[in-house]
């Protein structure tokens, strides 16, 4: 006997959504770009900033960024880590830190290298962020919510980075709801050292829902920081969840 559908029952369809992103960089007055930005499948976004007080900052940042993305692709396939995103982030940082530490043992790198690392994993309604160093992550949803804290002492000196120690490096980790219309902002300290949260909010509030809009906003953040006197390497990455028609 064919079942009869109860007219009182309603079928609700989840809204279709997409992730769009854009980034911008500037080398500043430095001899080379020591920042890295990359992503995998609009799921994992990585920003690194080579520690300027040490040589090989560009090598450290690029190696860390590529390793972090590789680690995400590999570790996410394991159900236990995928079910616990904080554990996944810790494993990414552990693998990446050991890679940087090992690099210092190679000829030509004995004088040291280190980098910051910021990793954001975007889920259906949540983002998870891990950080070591002084790069920053915020979510803008009409208000600006900071997701990271800087690893600096009272004198402004960097206290933690990948490559400082072989073992025992635990990332600062946080999670936050990430719904349609929300914007994730990832930025290195070349930007955050000169722009206040209020200034960042003013720049991103009209970013719009297109890749071109995000690109223009990322470039405007760089221009604003330059006009404020910034001379360091700068990187900003904007990630937004948008509703599809």
Instruction: Examine residue 29 and state whether it is found in any structural domain, yes or no.
Output: yes
DSSP readout, the chain?
Answer: ------TT--PPPPPPEEEEEEEEEE-TTSSS--EEEEEETTTEEEEEEE-TTSS-HHHHHHHHHHHHHHHHHHHTTSHHHHH-HHHHHHHHHHHHHHHHHHHTTSTT-TT---EEEEEEEE-SSEEEEEEESS-EEEEESSSEEE-----B-TTS-B---BTS-SS----EEEEEE--TT-EEEEE-HHHHTT--HHHHHHHHTT--SSHHHHHHHHHHHHHHHHHTT--S-EEEEEEEEEE--
Query: Model pTM?
Result: 0.91
CATH of the domain at 153: 3.60.40.10
- The pLDDT of residue 73 is 94
pLDDT in tens, 218-235: 999 999 999 999 999 999
pLDDT in tens, 103-141: 999 999 988 899 999 999 999 999 999 999 999 999 999
Report whether 120 contacts 129 (CB < 8 A).
yes
| 245 confidence band (pLDDT: 50, 70, 90) | confident
Instruction: Examine residue 2 and state whether it is found in any structural domain, yes or no.
Output: no
Q: Which domain holds residue 67?
A: 17-243
- The pLDDT of residue 9 is 53
- The pLDDT of residue 82 is 83
What value does the mean pLDDT of the chain take? Answer: 92
Instruction: Examine residue 4 and state whether it is found in any structural domain, yes or no.
Output: no
| 80 confidence band (pLDDT: 50, 70, 90) | confident
**Statement: residue 30 has pLDDT above 50:** yes
pLDDT in tens, 179-217: 999 999 999 999 999 999 999 999 999 999 999 999 999
| 59 confidence band (pLDDT: 50, 70, 90) | very high
Q: How many domains does the chain have?
A: 1
Q: Which residues contact 48 (CB under 8 A, 6 or more apart)?
A: 35, 36, 37, 60, 61, 62, 64, 65, 68, 115, 116, 117, 118, 135
- Residue with tokens 């810790």, as numbered in its chain: 90
- Residue, of 76 and 40, whose pLDDT is higher: 40
Instruction: Examine residue 10 and state whether it is found in any structural domain, yes or no.
Output: no
**Statement: residue 12 has pLDDT above 90:** no
Instruction: Examine residue 206 and state whether it is found in any structural domain, yes or no.
Output: yes
Alpha-carbon distance of 152 to 211, in angstroms, equals: 34
């Amino acid at each position: 006997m064919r079942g009869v559908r109860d007219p009182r029952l309603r079928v609700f369809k989840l809204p279709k959504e997409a992730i769009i992103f854009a980034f911008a960089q500037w080398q500043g007055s430095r001899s080379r770009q020591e920042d890295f930005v990359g992503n995998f499948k609009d799921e994992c976004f990585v920003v690194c900033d080579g520690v300027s007080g040490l040589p090989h900052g560009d090598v450290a940042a690029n190696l860390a960024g590529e390793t972090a993305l590789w680690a995400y692709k590999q570790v996410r396939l394991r159900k236990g880590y995928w079910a616990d995103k904080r554990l996944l982030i810790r494993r990414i940082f552990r693998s990446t830190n050991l890679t940087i530490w090992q690099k210092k043992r190679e000829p030509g790198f004995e004088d040291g290298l280190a980098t910051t690392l910021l990793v954001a994993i975007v889920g259906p309604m949540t983002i998870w962020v891990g950080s070591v160093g002084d790069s920053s992550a915020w979510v803008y949803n009409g208000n600006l919510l900071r997701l990271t804290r800087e690893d600096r002492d009272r004198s402004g000196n960097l206290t933690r980075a990948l490559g400082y120690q072989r073992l025992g490096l635990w990332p600062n980790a946080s999670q936050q709801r990430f719904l349609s219309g929300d914007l994730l902002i990832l930025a290195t300290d070349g930007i955050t050292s000169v722009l206040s949260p209020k200034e960042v909010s003013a720049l991103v509030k009209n970013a719009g829902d297109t890749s071109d809009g995000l690109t223009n906003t990322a470039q405007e953040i760089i221009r604003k920081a330059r006009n404020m006197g910034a001379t360091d390497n700068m990187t900003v990455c904007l990630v937004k969840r948008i509703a599809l028609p």
